[in-house]
Amino acid sequence: MAQRNCGKYPAEKVVSMLNFGPGSQAHGALDMPTWGPLSHSLDWKGESSFVSLRVHKLTQFIESIQEK
């Protein structure tokens, strides 16, 4: 992802995709479902901070596996 974005990891785009999906299906069916609705449904007592923490941790992990 960083390579396709001039060497900069697009963290905001990743967060948006995790929460809302890619926004289009221009390339056919999605191989990976949108996790935002599932993540929100698993929220403990409606605490949105848990969803935010999950998304933040996953975004950090994806960044950590980017090629330099």
Per-residue pLDDT of the chain (68 residues; tens, 9 = 90+): 888 889 899 999 998 888 777 766 555 555 555 565 666 666 656 566 777 888 899 999 999 999 76
Let me know if residue 38 belongs to a domain. Answer: no
Let me know if residue 42 belongs to a domain. Answer: no
pTM check: above 0.85: no
Domain count, the chain: 1
Let me know if residue 27 belongs to a domain. Answer: no
Q: What pLDDT was estimated at residue 21?
A: 73
Q: What pLDDT was estimated at residue 28?
A: 52
Let me know if residue 7 belongs to a domain. Answer: yes
The range of the structural domain enclosing residue 9 comes to 1-21+47-68
Measured between alpha carbons, how far is 61 from 24 in angstroms, rounded to an integer? Answer: 24
Q: What pLDDT was estimated at residue 60?
A: 95
CB contact set of 28 (below 8 Å; sequence gap of 6+): none
